[in-house]
Structure 1
Amino acid sequence: MKEGFKINKSANPIIFAVSDSIGETAELAARAATVQFDSGNIEIIRFPYVTDTEYASEVILEAKKHESCAIVCTIVLPEVREYLIEKARENNIPLVDIMGPLIETIGKITPLKPKLEPGLARRVDEEYFKKVEAVEFAVKYDDGKDPRGLAKADVVLIGVSRTSKTPLAMYLAHKRIKVANLPLVPEVSPPEELFEVSPKKIIGLTINPQKLYEIRKERLKALGLNGEATYASMERILKELEYADAIMRKIGCPKIDVSNKAVEETAAKIIEIIKKNEEPIL
C-alpha cells in the first residue's frame, strides 16, 4: 500500500481529495464546498500522486471502510480517472470528477488536444513566480545599485551608459534569468565583487562611438538639456569606451556589439553565449 494512504476509521464524514499531482485543486474545491455546511466535522484528506490503477484501487479500499465518504478527484490521466470513477460507482461511493468534464468541454471549443500531463498547472505557477522573482532581481540590482547582487546573478551586464543594459536585464528577466547590470565609468572603479564573478557569467556590451554619440545627443534633447554637454561629446565617449574595453579585457568576458541590434537580438545572443558556457540558468 502506498505510504500515507492508510487512515484511521472515522465516524465523521470524509472527503478524499484525489489527484495525480499534489492534490491542491481537489482539496481547495472540497473545502470551498464544505464551508457551505454548518457542520464543521467534515474531514478532508488529500491523496496525491495517484498515477496508476493500483493506487486508485487503494483509494477505493480505504473509502469502503467509512460509512460516510465521498471522493473529489482532479485526475487528468484518462485510464486512472475512468478506473476510479467505475470502481466508485460499483461500490456506491459518491464521486465528483472535476477535471474530466472540464477537459471534455474545453475540447469542444478548441481544435487543440489536451496534453494530459499531471501537475502542469503547478509547473506553470512555478514558472510565473520565477519570472516575477527575476524581474524583482533586475530592478533591485539595476545600474550597480548594490554590488552584492553581482554574485547572486545568473548574468552580469557591463558597459558604458546607453548600451541597453537595463532593457536587456528586464527582457532576460521575463525569460526567468536573474540579471544584474553595472555601468562602467572612468571616474569610478568597478566594485571588487565584479572580479570575483566567473567571466562566463559576465557579458560586456560595446557600441560604435558614432552610434553612441547620436543616442546620447537624443537622450539629452529628450531631457530638455543642451546637446553639447560633455556626456555626448565624442572625446568623452571615446574615453569611456576605451576604459570599458580595458575592464572587459581584464575580466576576459565575452563582448557583444549592440550598435545595430534590437534588444531581442542581443538577448538571444546572450542566452546563446551562456548556454555555450554551460552555465545552468535555463
Structure 2
Amino acid sequence: MIVEKNTTPVVFAVSDSIGETAELVTRAAMIQFNSGHVEIRRIPYVTDEEYAREVIEEAKEVENCAIVCTIILPEVRHYIINLARENNIPIVDLMGPMMDTLSKITDLKPKLEPGLVHKIDEDYFRKMEAIEFAVKYDDGKDPRGLSRADVVLIGVSRTSKTPLALYLAHKRLKVANLPLVPEVTPPDELFELPPRTVIGLTITPEKLNEIRQERLKALGLSSDASYASPERIQKEIEYAETIMKKIGCPRIDVSNKAVEEIATRILEIIRKGEF
C-alpha cells in the first residue's frame, strides 16, 4: 500500500468482516471528546496474516494513529495485535476479551465465523419483509403481488390461507394468497404464473362445513346462513377444483391438518419441485 504522510490522528477500524462495529465503537468514543479531528479508516475483510501485515505497514506511515479491531479469527487477531505492539502502535481488541469472557461463563466455544452479525441482521430483515408482504397481499387484496410472490396459495374460504402465509413468511418466503369464489373471476395474473409457484389448498365438504359452522357461531350469526350450507360448500369446492386443474398446480388436502404440517408439505413441494 502507498500512503501519504498524514498529521491528522487516524484510527484504523480493522475487521475480518465489514468493519462496521469497530467504526461505530470508535465514533461513540469520539463523541465523548467532542472532537471531529480524528480520521477513521475502515479496513474490512482482513482474513489472513499477509493483509494484517499490510495494515500495520500502512499504520506505520501515520504519525499519530491507533487500531481498533473486531477480528474473530484467532490467528489473525493475535498476529495483528503482536505486530502492532512490536511497532508501538496502540491497538484495541474489541472481540477477543468479549469472546473469552462468554466462553468462560457459558462453557461454549465460539463459532469463529466472521460476519455472523450481518448474516443475522440480513435474515431478520428478510423475515420482516416477507411478513409485510404476506399482510399486504393477503386475501387477494392486490393481484399485482402475485407475480412477486415466492408462493401463491389459492383455495376456498377457511382453508388456512392466511395463517399459512404468515407461517411461511417466518421461513423467509414471500407468500400471497387468493380466495376462490364462484362469483369472482380470478385475476389474469394468476394464470400467468408458473404452476410451481401456486399451491392449491383443498378440503372435504364435511370438514369445511364444520369449520364454517364454528365461524358463524363465533360471529354470533345463524348456522342457517348460506355460507355454511352443504350446497354452497359443494359449489365452491367444485369451482376451486376447476381453477386448480386449469392452472395445473399441486394440491394439498388441509382437512384435519395443522398449519405446521401443511407448511412442511408446501416446503417439500417447493424444494423438490413437485408439480
Q: TM-score category by the smaller chain?
A: over 0.9
The more displaced of 31-40 and 70-79 is 31-40
Contact 2:11/2:66 (<8 A) preserved: yes
Contact 2:213/2:228 (<8 A) preserved: yes
Q: Compared with structure 1, are the counterparts of its residues 94 and 161 closer, same or farther at alpha carbon in structure 2 (3 Å cutoff)? A: same
CA distance in 1, matches of 2:107, 2:35: 44
CA distance in 2, matches of 1:8, 1:277: 57
| Alignment pair present for 1:251 and 2:264 | no
Displacement after TM superposition at 1:15 (Å)? 0.2
Contact 2:5/2:63 (<8 A) preserved: no
CA distance in 1, matches of 2:44, 2:4: 18
Displacement after TM superposition at 1:135 (Å)? 0.3
Q: CA RMSD, aligned part only? A: 1.2
| Alignment pair present for 1:162 and 2:158 | yes
Aligned to 2:89: 93
Q: Which runs of 4+ in 1 moved over 3 A?
A: none
CA displacement, residues 226-265 of structure 1 (integer Å, 9 cap, x when unaligned): 1110001111001000000010001000000000110000
CA distance in 2, matches of 1:82, 1:278: 51
Aligned to 1:264: 260
Aligned to 1:274: 270
- Which of the residues 67, 80, 87 maps onto 2:76? 80
| Alignment pair present for 1:205 and 2:210 | no
- Which of the residues 17, 24, 31 maps onto 1:28? 24
Amino acid at match of 1:258: V
CA distance in 2, matches of 1:7, 1:143: 60
Aligned to 2:134: 138
Amino acid at match of 1:150: L
- Which of the residues 224, 237, 240 maps onto 1:241? 237
Contact 2:16/2:114 (<8 A) preserved: yes
Describe the SS at the equivalent of 1:157.
Answer: strand
Aligned to 1:225: 221
CA distance in 1, matches of 2:274, 2:31: 51
Amino acid at match of 1:183: P
CA distance in 1, matches of 2:200, 2:59: 63
- Which of the residues 179, 185, 201 maps onto 1:189? 185
Displacement after TM superposition at 1:7 (Å)? 3.9
Q: Compared with structure 1, are the counterparts of its residues 228 and 161 closer, same or farther at alpha carbon in structure 2 (3 Å cutoff)? A: same
Displacement after TM superposition at 1:101 (Å)? 0.6
The more displaced of 30-39 and 76-85 is 30-39
CA displacement, residues 20-67 of structure 1 (integer Å, 9 cap, x when unaligned): 001000100111111111332111000000000000001111111112
TM-score by length of 1: 0.96
What runs of 5+ residues in structure 2 fail to find an aligned partner? Answer: none
CA distance in 2, matches of 1:7, 1:230: 80
Displacement after TM superposition at 1:278 (Å)? 8.3
- Which of the residues 48, 53, 58 maps onto 2:49? 53
Give the % identical residues: 72
Amino acid at match of 1:89: R
CA displacement, residues 164-191 of structure 1 (integer Å, 9 cap, x when unaligned): 0000000000000000000000000100
Aligned to 1:109: 105
Describe the SS at the equivalent of 2:24.
Answer: helix
Displacement after TM superposition at 1:110 (Å)? 1.4
CA distance in 1, matches of 2:269, 2:171: 15
Describe the SS at the equivalent of 2:105.
Answer: coil
Aligned to 1:37: 33
Amino acid at match of 2:42: R
Describe the SS at the equivalent of 1:109.
Answer: helix
CA distance in 1, matches of 2:105, 2:247: 56
TM-score by length of 2: 0.98
